[in-house]
Structures are given as C-alpha cells and as structure tokens.
Structure 1
Amino acid sequence: MRYVVVCLLKGEVLDFHEKIVEDVCTKFNVKRQKLPAHFTIKAPFEADNIEELEKLTEEFCNRNVMTPIKIKGFGHFRDNVVFMDIYPSKEAVDVHDKYIDELKKLSWLEWRNNDGKDKKFHCTVVSKRIKERFNDIWGYVSNYELDFQSYFDNISILIWRNYRWETYKEYNLK
C-alpha cells in the first residue's frame, strides 16, 4: 500500500484552499491534486504493514502539543508548483523535527532528498503539468490576499485508495 504523512489544514484555511484550487483548476483547465489542504511531513512511501508507524505516531502526539503556524501569501517551486506559503513557529519546527527523528528510527522507511528536516513548509495549490500556464496562474493567485493563523495540530496518515488519497488515521497533538 502507498501512504503519506501530513498535517491536515482545517477551518478557514481548508475553505480558502478548496476555493482557490477550484478557481485555478477551472479557469486554467489544469488538473486538481488528489490531496486535501495539508503540509507534507513524510513524502509518499510504500509499506505492507504500518502498525509500527501508527504506534509511534500515536505515542508522539500524546507527548507533544499543537503549535502555531501562519499561512500568508503564495510561493512557487520553479515554474511547476504554486503553493500557499506556510511560516511555522519555532515551536512548530521543533515538533516537526522531533517527529522526523522518531520516523528515522523506522529502518524500513525510505527517505529521499525532499524528506526530513529543513524543508519549505507549503500547501500546494497546483502542480501537475502547469508549466505552459505558470505565468498566468501565478499572476492570478497573486491577486488574492491570504493571511491565516492556524496550528500544526495533527499528524495524519493518508492512504492511496480508489485513485485518491484518503485519511487512514488522524492523530491530534495535545
């Protein structure tokens, strides 16, 4: 099975994300991503059994508290990913990095260059085959104001099922 570990964004951030994704995908005829509003903690990976990951995540969330993040403005990677910019508090980075340290103890979990610590926190708006429309999309989203206070308040495991990502388990930070 294929999994990804994320923090699901909720409330007004989720509502805004759904609206901007729908607007951009409709206006520019680009594909929707198959994930809800989130920031990635561990990129997709294959595993037959994730009981160890579930136990580790549950115990971690029971020992750690939610921390503030700010979602403000847009950014992009090259000309093929447009995202809502996330500014984690120092506390949020600390919780994230401690969780990465725990995940690294799982010998079966594979890591790539974009996994782990020192990442750019972001919430993708569009990323599939947008190169030809990038400048138009970038100009369009740049007209939107976004400035939200939110929280890194959950660690969620999503599973790839029925051609989309579904929430498998969600663990709330205290």
Structure 2
Amino acid sequence: MNRYVIVCLLKDDVLNFHEKLVEEVCSKYKVRPQKLPAHFTIKAPFETDRIDEVEDILERFIKDRKKEALEISGFDYFRDAVVFMRVLPSKGAIEIHDQFIDELKILPWLDWKPHEGKDKVYHCTIVSRLKPDKFHPIWDYVNKYNPQFHTYFDNISILKWNGERWETYKEYLF
C-alpha cells in the first residue's frame, strides 16, 4: 500500500513567499518544516493500492471545470500548534471543492475524519506540531508579514509519500 494526499498546489508568488517564510521560521525557531509544498488540503493522507480509482474520478471531474479565484490574506492558527496563511476561496472555488468531495465519497474504501470534507477552514500551513513555548514567538514573527495574494484553485494534485517527503504523483489542471 502506498500513502497519498490530495491537494491544490499553490504556485508562483504564493509558493515563493511560503518557501521563504517556512525556511526563516524553521531556522530561527528550530522547528521542523512540513514535508509538503504550499497547498491547501482536499483529502488528508490515506493509504491505498487503488489510486487508479481516484485517478479515474479526477480525469472525468476536471473536464468541465475552470479555475476559480482564491485569495491568500494574512495568518491564523489552530490551537497553539499550527500557524497558517488564510486561504479565502471564491464561491466558485468552494463549489468545485465540494463537488469533488462528493465524487470522492463514492469510494467506499476511502475513510474520512471529522474535520475533512466540506465546511472546512481553507489554509496553507506554515508550521505545525508546535510546542506551546514556540507558538507565541512564531506567531509574533510571522505577523511582521502580511501575505496578500490573488491566485487560483486551478489544480487538484495527488502527492505520494516517498518515505522522506511528499512528491507530486499526478497533477490535474483545469
């Protein structure tokens, strides 16, 4: 069985800003970087030997879709453990996301956790798994910046775990 995650990869200026900030924070505060490039998660990591079924759904799904607007605006956090950039999807982006979730839910073997699926907090993680003593200094540091980007939900990408990090397995553009 292989391990996969389904995401929307964020690119260009967002990717460059994210990489630079993650590197700065991890170096300055001695925390481990996440093993994923800039993205928002559509389906959290799962294991399967049936990824071809997901690929079939994606190939059909993207055919009549077009890119939809996303805004990246400032920072937020979960508990005192995760710092992230806020991703503000347009109505069209939410519709595509939710329609794709409906398609994935057809697969009876694909498990879903309570925070997955629709009605989610769209976000692009800077750091996670923070210990309480690291959160406040990192929160103060990132808030010296104010990321403001206009970008797009223009891909659904399957990433595969290679044992050390996530690599793009297949990217579906629309």
State the TM-score, normalizing by the size of structure 1: 0.97
The C-alpha deviation readout for 1:49-76, integer Å capped at 9, x for no partner, is 2111001012111121110000010000
Distance 1:119 1:129 in 2: 21
Does structure 1 retain, via aligned residues, the 8 Å contact 2:80–2:130? no
Letter in 2 for 1:14: L
The C-alpha deviation readout for 1:136-162, integer Å capped at 9, x for no partner, is 000000110210000000000000003
Does structure 1 retain, via aligned residues, the 8 Å contact 2:157–2:170? yes
Instruction: Show the counterpart of 1:145.
Output: 146
- Residue 34 of structure 1: how far off its partner (Å): 0.2
Instruction: Show the counterpart of 1:102.
Output: 103
Letter in 1 for 2:25: V
1:80-99 correspondence to structure 2 within 5 Å: 80-99=81-100
Q: Does 1:18 find its partner at 2:19? A: yes
Instruction: Show the counterpart of 2:161.
Output: 160
- Residue 129 of structure 1: how far off its partner (Å): 3.3
Letter in 2 for 1:123: C
Q: CA RMSD in A?
A: 0.8
Does structure 2 retain, via aligned residues, the 8 Å contact 1:70–1:149? yes
In structure 1, runs of 5+ residues without a counterpart are: none
Distance 2:121 2:134 in 1: 23
Q: Does 1:119 find its partner at 2:100? A: no
In structure 2, runs of 5+ residues without a counterpart are: none
Distance 1:40 1:13 in 2: 15
Does structure 2 retain, via aligned residues, the 8 Å contact 1:30–1:130? no
- Residue 104 of structure 1: how far off its partner (Å): 0.5
Q: Does 1:29 find its partner at 2:14? A: no
State the TM-score, normalizing by the size of structure 2: 0.97
Distance 2:156 2:132 in 1: 31
Distance 1:131 1:164 in 2: 25
Does structure 2 retain, via aligned residues, the 8 Å contact 1:28–1:133? yes
1:31-50 correspondence to structure 2 within 5 Å: 31-50=32-51
